[in-house]
Amino acid sequence: MTPNPLLPDLTARAIAAAHSRTSACPCGATVTLAERPDATVVRHADTVAKAHAPGVTVTDLAPRLAAATRLLEIFLPPLTPIPVDLHDRPVTFWPYGTPVDPEDPDAAPWEAAATLLAHLHRTPAPAPLPPMRGPAKAALALSRLRATTDATLTAPVLRAWATLPAWARDEAPQPDTATLCHGDLHLGQLVRHPVPDGPWLLIDIDDLGVGVPAWDLGRPAAWFACGLLPPDEWHRFLTAYRVAGGPAVPADGDPWPALDVAARALTVQTAARAITKAAAEDRVLDEIEQALVDACDRMASVPPELVREEAK
């Protein structure tokens, strides 16, 4: 694997930022938390440095950072309000928070995630704030999928994509241009701060913006529809969102009419990413990845309620 030239310099920036915060830094090893094409994240002591995706600019991030700084009970606040440039990529600095434990699914903070989302969706959006980037990221995943040669796998995903409305494919403005949204909600986007057991807060402001709030519920809804999220966990999440007054779904009754488009779009996006990743690693899809592709195959021809019921 080709070494990442960004990583040593990002590590040095993380160390410097940690030392600037305290004169008694414990100075243990610097840990790489993520190293992906769209983000490189390192931690030194209680400080995290994140290099954002290539092509992202300071102009893109500035209003999102400003919003997170004001939403102190919803978002982990950045340590500095202005990114620095490193290898033509903006870098932001954050306090370290305790992440969700992937080895303890019973402790997944579904209620906290839903409550934070409801509060976010009910908060007046600061101006100016760009559109929530969820549909744009889904469209990017599909553009990468089209370069995959296995038509057997790609065809059902592309058919399902074609059934979505234009706004969900990032081909038209979103029908809601006022609601504040996270844009990429999953359990990896929550941390406890202060560590180790402070309140749960949202992280990752890259996709923050105004748009359709149902998108933020779309990934858990998609997992439920595909049979990957147990019904009781979905019920916990949905109930907590409603109790907190979240506006994306009705206060009672069937939520699916409000969630169907977002759930389908997130299923398609996740399936597209799974196929692209498997192709790059020269392997077949695993059971979960195949379940996502199978769900896309059902979407093109089966009414929404039956797609959900057949997955159970």
Same domain, 207 and 80: no
Same domain, 46 and 168: no
pLDDT of 4 strictly over 90: no
Instruction: Indicate the SS3 state at residue 98.
Output: strand
Q: Residue 306: what pLDDT?
A: 41
Q: Residue 310: what pLDDT?
A: 39
Same domain, 128 and 85: no
What CATH number does the domain containing 61 carry?
3.30.200
Q: Point out the domain boundary residue: 95, 126, 149.
A: 95
In sequence order, what DSSP letters do the residues of 49-93 get, joined into one string? EEE--TT--HHHHHHHHHHHHH-TTTBPPPSSSS-EEETTEEEEE
How many domains does the chain fold into?
Answer: 2
16-73 pLDDT, tens per residue? 999 988 777 777 789 999 998 889 999 999 999 999 999 999 888 999 999 999 999 9
In a domain, 100, yes or no: no
Same domain, 207 and 158: yes
In a domain, 32, yes or no: yes
- What does the mean pLDDT of the chain come to? 92
In a domain, 15, yes or no: yes
List the single range of 107-111, 117-121, 259-263, 301-305 with lowest mean pLDDT: 301-305
pLDDT of 126 strictly over 50: yes
Same domain, 127 and 238: yes
* Cα–Cα distance list, 311 to 68, 168, 285, 297 (Å): 37, 23, 18, 12
Q: Residue 2: what pLDDT?
A: 59
How far apart CA 182 and CA 226 sit, in angstroms, is: 23
Q: Point out the domain boundary residue: 62, 95, 128.
A: 95
Q: Residue 100: what pLDDT?
A: 95
List the single range of 15-29, 128-142, 186-200, 223-237 with lowest mean pLDDT: 15-29
In a domain, 286, yes or no: yes
Determine the structural domain holding residue 56 and report its residue range.
6-95
* pLDDT (average), residues 81-88: 90
pLDDT of 145 strictly over 50: yes
* pLDDT (average), residues 158-186: 96
Q: Residue 175: what pLDDT?
A: 96
Same domain, 85 and 190: no
* pLDDT (average), residues 115-137: 96
In a domain, 1, yes or no: no
The pTM for the full model equals: 0.93
Same domain, 124 and 64: no
Same domain, 232 and 272: yes
Q: What is the dihedral of CA 5, 183, 223, 77, to 10 degrees?
A: 70
Instruction: Indicate the SS3 state at residue 193.
Output: coil
Same domain, 75 and 167: no
Same domain, 17 and 160: no
299-310 pLDDT, tens per residue? 877 654 444 443
* pLDDT (average), residues 192-213: 96
Same domain, 86 and 181: no
Same domain, 112 and 221: yes
What CATH number does the domain containing 229 carry?
3.90.1200.10
Q: Which amino acid is at 219?
A: R
Q: Point out the domain boundary residue: 67, 95, 123.
A: 95
Nearest alpha-carbon partner for 182 in 90, 232, 99, 113: 113
